[in-house]
Amino acid sequence: MLQPPVILVNEKDEPVGTMEKMEAHQKGLLHRAFSVFVINSKGEMLLQQRALHKYHSGGLWTNTCCSHPLPGEDVLAAAHRRLQEEMGFDCGLEAIFSFTYRAALDNGLTEHEFDHVFLGVYDGVITPDAEEVLSHRFLPLGTIRRLLAEEPDTFTHWFQLAFPKMEAYLENKEKGGE
């Protein structure tokens, strides 16, 4: 069964083509992705544990949801779509930062993504798709920081890279900064 295509991009996030998702990961080609971080009104972050059968990083903890926009799909619209599909809710999202990373995965695949990071606030009901999500939980930022230091292998590679940037953004925002 063919996977949906991803948008291949250059280092400036300019589209250079499309490719079937698995092939792009097998070849380690740079493609557009997004990561959604959701916090509640207490400032706790919503993490998901990826379903065990995911094509990579199964069983690992990560941000609220992440995926790839489809060709022709706006990244923010894709983030809203996947948040609803994976976690069963939607909320306002704000673009915070983007970064590029490359990571060899344990199954011979390579993540090479230009990742757009979004932040939302949500306190309502969460009804995750069991095909996508094994578990979920809200945790204080300090607890996440401690777990990342003590048990890094239980988190996805991209989360380990993005969390410090998101934490710094949230702390700066709390102090009244931008």
- Which residues have a catalytic role annotated? 66, 113
What is the DSSP annotation of 75-120?
HHHHHHHHHHHHHS----EEEEEEEEEEEE-TTS-EEEEEEEEEEE
Which helix H or strand E contains 28, and what residues bound it?
Answer: none
* Cα separation, 139 vs 136, whole angstroms: 10
Beta bridge partners of 61: 49, 155
Q: DSSP 3-state assignment of 141?
A: helix
* Cα separation, 9 vs 18, whole angstroms: 9
